[in-house]
Structure 1
Amino acid sequence: MKEERLITKAKKGNTAAFEKLITAHQETLYKTAYLYLHHKEDTLDAVQETAYKAFLNIAQLKEPKYFKTWLIRILLNTIFSMKKKQGDVIPFEPQHEAGAVNRNIEEYIDLRNALDTLDEHVQLTIQLYYFQDFSIPMIAEQTGMAEGTVKTHLHRARKALKQELEKEDKQTWKSIK
């Protein structure tokens, strides 16, 4: 309810209310962008561009309860346009964060590689469902797909990821022996 009041104020031009909204969703925006871009600077650029576009267009938001969905959609469009402009250029700088010491980097790399083998729409479905905790109806609304298509994408992605990760495990064990 509090968020809806902030959205109403932001739609009327209250910049402080808009800043609070963006701050409340900044972690979600960052994590989502990083899943696609894998690079801190690009991720920050995408989040900043998203906030700017949302600020310019907040008055067009029809239903306050869909603010997060609307914001994520802007972010995804921004990411896709950035990737198109970049032509998926691989940056020279390392793509790991110093704070990720507690993570098992090998498992992360294997999962990231397995995700990269999936179709872009299937990747989006997986990332929204598992990393952003979107429900199937929310993903359907966000992507414009039917709920059945979302379920199919999830099923196929799980199966493909399992096969890819098992293949990675077999290759790892062969190289050790």
Structure 2
Amino acid sequence: MNIDVNESEVLRAQKGDKEAFISIMKGVELRMYNIAKSIVRQDEDCADAMQETALKAYRALPTLQNPRFFNTWVCRILINECNTLLRKKSKTVSMAEPPQAAYVPPVEDLRMDLRDAVDRLEETQRMIVILYYFEDMTIQQIADMLEMSAGAVKTRLYRARMALSRRLKEPAAKEVRL
């Protein structure tokens, strides 16, 4: 799923070709959705973050120095937008739905699949796992995108694998805590 953007299209978009920009954004749309979903988790928030990312990318496109790094650049904008959205949401208290009593589903409903296990990882680990395994990005691409060293990405990927292994091996009943 590693999709490389056509550098000549990026250059055309940088010169003001709106159709070229739309084309390159359509090419990274699925990757952007997967990244946003891994961070904000709700489709409405994904759409908001993606829309804001597209707007900011369009405005800042002339500042992109190397068209080859468009994917990394736009994903970095998206990650920042998702984090901004989460910060804003953490400051607001929604009373649309009153708190409910804890529900403990029957044991047979507690079977955890891999995606559930990934969703339960700490945010940075979850993002690295999704980028590495679901988006086929290299360690170096992830490091550049998340602005950390390749060694740090490898360490977090290793820890995420260990956490996933533990979660998938333990009985499902241990996951429910009241």
Structure 1 Cα separation of the partners of residues 121 and 141 of structure 2: 24
Q: What is the match of residue 146 of structure 2?
A: 143
Farther-moved stretch of structure 1 (28-37 vs 49-58): 28-37
Q: CA deviation at 1:83?
A: 0.5
Q: Tell me the SS of whatever aligns to 2:112.
A: helix
Q: What is the match of residue 73 of structure 1?
A: 76
* Paired AA for residue 138 in structure 1: Q
Q: CA deviation at 1:122?
A: 2.1
Structure 1 Cα separation of the partners of residues 44 and 5 of structure 2: 32
Q: Is the 8 A contact 1:125 1:154 kept in 2?
A: yes
Please point out which of 116, 119, 130 is paired with 2:120: 116
Q: Is the 8 A contact 1:37 1:79 kept in 2?
A: yes
Structure 2 Cα separation of the partners of residues 73 and 79 of structure 1: 10
Q: What is the match of residue 106 of structure 2?
A: none
Q: What is the match of residue 95 of structure 1?
A: none
TM-score by length of 1: 0.78
Residues 133/56 of structure 1: CA separation in 2 closer, same or farther (3 Å cut): same
Q: What is the match of residue 83 of structure 1?
A: 86
Structure 1 Cα separation of the partners of residues 110 and 67 of structure 2: 39
Q: Is the 8 A contact 1:29 1:75 kept in 2?
A: yes
Q: CA deviation at 1:106?
A: 5.0
**Gap runs ≥5 in structure 1:** 93-103, 173-177
Q: CA deviation at 1:170?
A: 5.3
CA deviation map 1:136-176 (0-9, x unaligned):
1111111121111111111111001211232353538xxxx
Q: What is the match of residue 27 of structure 2?
A: 24
* Paired AA for residue 85 in structure 2: M
Q: CA deviation at 1:126?
A: 1.5
Structure 2 Cα separation of the partners of residues 125 and 117 of structure 1: 10
Structure 2 Cα separation of the partners of residues 38 and 105 of structure 1: 20
Q: CA deviation at 1:132?
A: 1.4
Structure 2 Cα separation of the partners of residues 105 and 35 of structure 1: 21
- Is residue 2:63 matched to residue 1:45? no
Structure 1 Cα separation of the partners of residues 130 and 15 of structure 2: 33
Residues 114/165 of structure 1: CA separation in 2 closer, same or farther (3 Å cut): farther
> What is the aligned residue count?
159
* Paired AA for residue 157 in structure 2: L
Structure 1 Cα separation of the partners of residues 7 and 174 of structure 2: 51
Q: CA deviation at 1:34?
A: 1.4
Q: Is the 8 A contact 1:115 1:161 kept in 2?
A: no
Q: What is the match of residue 107 of structure 1?
A: 112
Residues 121/35 of structure 1: CA separation in 2 closer, same or farther (3 Å cut): closer
Structure 2 Cα separation of the partners of residues 145 and 113 of structure 1: 24
Identity value in percent = 31
**Gap runs ≥5 in structure 2:** 98-108
Q: Tell me the SS of whatever aligns to 1:87.
A: helix
